[in-house]
Structure formats: C-alpha cells, structure tokens
Chain A
C-alpha cells in the first residue's frame, strides 16, 4: 500500500495537504472544533480582518439559490486588536497553517492591518481580500482594477513579514490581467475566485431578497466559472495559485489541482457538511493510492490539452 505524500508548497509556505478552509465560511476555526479535528486540515483561512471592528450589513444577509447561496455579510469581524487578543491565541495552539485574510477601506488601511500582523507568531501567511462584493469602499473596487490591485499588493508586501496571497475577484473581464499585475507587484501567491456578484428578488413583495440588494454567489453553482478562471490564471502567471469555488468533494478538488491549482479552499461546503474538508483530504489520499500516485504534487497541473 502506497502512503501518498499530500504535502504541497505554496511559495515559501509548506502545507501538510492542499486543503484549506475559505475565509468567511469557517469563522475563526473554533466554531468547528467540536465537530472535526482541525489539525488534519492543510490550513485555515480565518474570517477577513479589518483595522477596526465591522458590524456588517443589515439582514437579510443570505439567501439560497439553485446549487448555491448569495451572501451579503459585509465583512462583519472583530477587528485587528480583538483578533490578536481574543482569537489568535487559540489558533496558535493548533497544528495547522493559519492564514489571516485582511481587508481595508483604503490602500493605507490594508498596509496598517498587515503591519499589525507583522512580528506575530503563529500566522503562516496573509491573504489579501481585494474582491469582496459586499462593501461600499475598498474590496472589489480594488480587485477589478489592475493598477489598484498592484498598489494594494505593494503596500501589504511592504508591511508584511509573511508570505502574501492575493484573493482575486471573478467579477472582471480579464482575470489574467489582474493576476499579472498582482504578480508583478510581488505577491507570493494568488487565490481565486471570490464570489460572483448576483441578486435574487422576492416576486410577491417585489423587493430584493437581500437587504444589500446584491450579494456574492457561492457554492457548486459557480464551480465551472471558477475552474476556468484558475485555468486562465495558471497560464498567465508563475506564482502558485490556490483554487476556490464550489468545491464540495475530492473529485471537484482534483479538477482544480489538475488545472494547476497547488491548493484549494473549501467554502460553502463547510456549511452543508462540516466534515467536507476532511472528507476531501481522505478522498485525495484514496485517489492517489488507487492510482499509485506517490505525491499529490504529481497531480498538479497535469491537464492535457
């Protein structure tokens, strides 16, 4: 029996396996700790942190759609200070990579959050959210413009002492252009995609189902879109790419790995099946065993065209 090596390298960072939980779908990790062994994960990307606490958008904030859901949470979070004092110490006790997702209203604010995480132990990388569709300032406004994407990236890199992953928006005409701009600005890796902007209407009341009017679509509904964008970006850049978008089982994960993603993130599936990430890790292990593949790295980027 082969014991496949599931370790992957994302730039300077090594993960014990390629399965991460996506920001905003896994809280600060603790929420799932009584249900699964978090140490088995490749890593946890925590809920997006801003300089100051954010209360988020008015409800209703979520609505189910075919094979997916729309959310307009609005980056509700405890803020940098509370994160460092109240959330991080618990996360530091885990034996898995902790990646902190950050968000700012301005370029400088992104830098300030990165600076606040500088010198802090127990953080494997920073993921920069330039792609949230549910906030008025910052977020997607940066992520849809190559120059602004590069500026935010540069500012974070200047302040950060950890690998920097930039999370891209799918709500663009040419994601390859943004990816190249962010790579040129010095990012260590890319993660994609964030949610697709969408809306749903209550036909009886003739009002939007979300108080925010629009929200971010996630779940299996977006998987083919996200997969194609990963394919495009992998062709455009040399830095590692982390695939995200509607992955619910190991077969979905393999699609992204074969397309060239070096790791994947599990998002909405965590809500449906809290054990989804662990099931996927186990599924990848079995797939490698059955196909006599010694290292998961040997699957990555093996797409034949």
Chain B
C-alpha cells in the first residue's frame, strides 16, 4: 500500500456521464487484486475535503491503474475535468479482494451500473469463456463497451431499465434465468457489485438456491485504512462486534456474512 502523486495518463468519456481514468503507479499495479480499491484525492484544496474511494477496474502494461467512474457528485465533477499529464494523489491498493473462483465452478458476474468496474478487473484475470457476465444499466447510452475499458472478447448479457438495449428490466432477472438453467452437475458461483437494492435481490436469490455469492459494497469512508471506522455495516450474526468495516473487512463480502435486513 502506498500514497503518492500519480500522473494521469488519460481521463476520457466512455459512456453517458461515465469516464475511464488511467493513472501511472507501478507499485499499485504490482499489488492490486480484483475487488480492491484506491482512495483518490480529487483536488489540492480543502473543499471537497475527503478522498473518494474507487474500485480498481483493471491494470495495464505493468504501470497503469484503471478506474471507471460516473459523474455523480462534487468530487467526480471535479475529477472529470482532470487532463492527461496532471497528477492526483492516490492511496492504495486497499481492502480485501474477491476470493477467486475455484476449478470446476462456473462464475457468473452480475453488475449494476458502475458496479461493473471491479468485475471487469475480475473478468480480466479468469479464463475467457469460463464465465458469464451480466450487466445492468439505466439506459443504452450508459452502456460501457468492455473493449474500450481494457476487456476484449467478452460477451456481456445486458439489461436496461428503459429497454433501450438488451433485456428490458433488472439484471437480477437475467441472473434468475441463468441460475434456473443450471442442473445439479454445474456449480455456479456469483460475484456481484451494484446498487444496494440490486445486491439485496442477488443475495436473496443466491441464498434461496444455495449458490455461493460474493458481493462488493460501497460506503462513505474517510480514510480507507480502518482508522476512522466510518464505513460500518451490520454483520449477520449476533457476535460481540456487530459491525464490519467496508474498507478493511471488505469491500468484498460473502453474502452470508451480512445482515441484509438491516443493510
């Protein structure tokens, strides 16, 4: 883990309100695992004050860390104006990564919106053709072309809320169809990242079918290091300590570790 000023190599628009950022940090590339994240300081001043957490979307050429983000607030509005050649302070890699799929398992990657970012990194490290990748977006213009963000030869099964591309409806419906198609000989494992409501749906569905599932969560956090304890989420069991911290214990969790009723 390091904290350093890193050169922005590119910062380009890849879909509606969606940007793809490449920053140079060989040391983070050397350590990064799918599911981990970095904390970026979007400016030099004190307002906005805190760093922003971003999943690592991939790595390239031994020295580029790739970030996919959507402009949703003040921090990302400032970020999307940063030009190649400028630098940003980056802290990472942080958190635990995904537990990689084992031999004989059939991975299903389920993304909602920007939840696609860590799953693109995951997909780039597992054997092409061995997994399915389901991705939900609000509309067709939000769809991120995976070959533009460093993942080529992948067939996304797409859903959109407005039906302007792919299946009209929720990505969880695609997952339900997919899981229904498996017989007892195939051992599906699910990796999901997206909005909380979507993850709740995925959690209920996988629990119901007794399918293993890991989810990557997001939370407001100040430090990313386990010091501020701001990113608490409820654990499932009634243990002495009631909370996990997304930054350190996660951001990737087994669905059974969390209290979905109170999340």
Question: Are the C-beta atoms of A272 and B50 separated by less than 8 Å?
Answer: yes
Question: Are the C-beta atoms of A271 and B227 separated by less than 8 Å?
Answer: yes
Question: Are the C-beta atoms of A220 and B225 separated by less than 8 Å?
Answer: no
Partner of B49, one of A26, A57, A59, A69: A69
* Bound complex: CA A171 to CA B124 (Å): 53
Question: Are the C-beta atoms of B225 and A67 separated by less than 8 Å?
Answer: no
User: Which 7 pairs of residues, A with B, have the shortest CB-CB distance?
Assistant: A62-B230, A27-B227, A271-B222, A271-B223, A55-B242, A31-B227, A31-B225
Q: How large is the interface on B (under 10, 10 to 19, 20 to 34, 35 or more residues)?
A: 20 to 34
Give 5 new A-B contacts, CB below 8 A, not counting A25-B223, A64-B49. Answer: A31-B226, A53-B241, A62-B222, A71-B230, A268-B49
Asked if B229 is at the interface (CB within 8 A of a chain A CB), the reply is: yes
Which residues from B are CB-within-8-Å of A47?
A: 227
Per the 8 Å Cβ criterion, residues 1-28 of B in contact with A are 1-3
Closest to A77 in B: B229
Q: How many A-B residue pairs have CB under 8 A?
A: 99
Asked if B233 is at the interface (CB within 8 A of a chain A CB), the reply is: yes
**Are A61 and B232 CB-contacts (below 8 A) given A35-B2, A220-B49?**
yes
Would you give the shortest CB distance from A278 to chain B, in whole angstroms?
11
List A residues at the B interface (Cβ < 8 Å). Answer: 24-27, 31-32, 34-35, 47, 53, 55-64, 66-69, 71, 73, 76, 219-220, 248, 268, 270-275
**Are A25 and B220 CB-contacts (below 8 A) given A66-B47, A272-B49?**
no
Asked if B71 is at the interface (CB within 8 A of a chain A CB), the reply is: no
Which residues from A are CB-within-8-Å of B145?
A: none
Which residues from A are CB-within-8-Å of B89?
A: 273
Question: Are the C-beta atoms of B243 and A67 separated by less than 8 Å?
Answer: no
Question: Are the C-beta atoms of B1 and A35 separated by less than 8 Å?
Answer: yes
Question: Are the C-beta atoms of B1 and A60 separated by less than 8 Å?
Answer: no
Partner of A274, one of B91, B229, B233, B241: B91
Question: Are the C-beta atoms of A25 and B228 separated by less than 8 Å?
Answer: yes
Question: Are the C-beta atoms of B230 and A61 separated by less than 8 Å?
Answer: yes
Asked if B41 is at the interface (CB within 8 A of a chain A CB), the reply is: yes
**Are A219 and B46 CB-contacts (below 8 A) given A26-B227, A62-B222, A73-B228?**
yes
Partner of A275, one of B3, B229, B233, B240: B3
* Chain A interface, DSSP helix/strand/loop, else mixed: loop
Question: Are the C-beta atoms of B233 and A59 separated by less than 8 Å?
Answer: yes
Asked if B48 is at the interface (CB within 8 A of a chain A CB), the reply is: yes
Would you give the shortest CB distance from B133 to chain A, in whole angstroms?
30
Asked if B156 is at the interface (CB within 8 A of a chain A CB), the reply is: no
Asked if B231 is at the interface (CB within 8 A of a chain A CB), the reply is: yes
Per the 8 Å Cβ criterion, residues 33-57 of B in contact with A are 41, 46-51
* Bound complex: CA A170 to CA B222 (Å): 23
Asked if B30 is at the interface (CB within 8 A of a chain A CB), the reply is: no
Closest to B75 in A: A64
14 A-B contacts (beta carbon < 8 Å): A31-B225, A34-B1, A55-B242, A56-B229, A56-B232, A59-B232, A61-B229, A61-B231, A62-B230, A69-B222, A73-B228, A73-B229, A268-B49, A271-B227
Which residues from B are CB-within-8-Å of A220?
A: 46, 49
Partner of A73, one of B48, B230, B242: B230
Would you give the shortest CB distance from A271 to chain B, in whole angstroms?
4
Which residues from B are CB-within-8-Å of A73?
A: 228-230
Would you give the shortest CB distance from B4 to chain A, in whole angstroms?
10
Q: Give the residue among B47, B51, B227, B231 with the most A Cβ atoms within 10 A.
A: B227
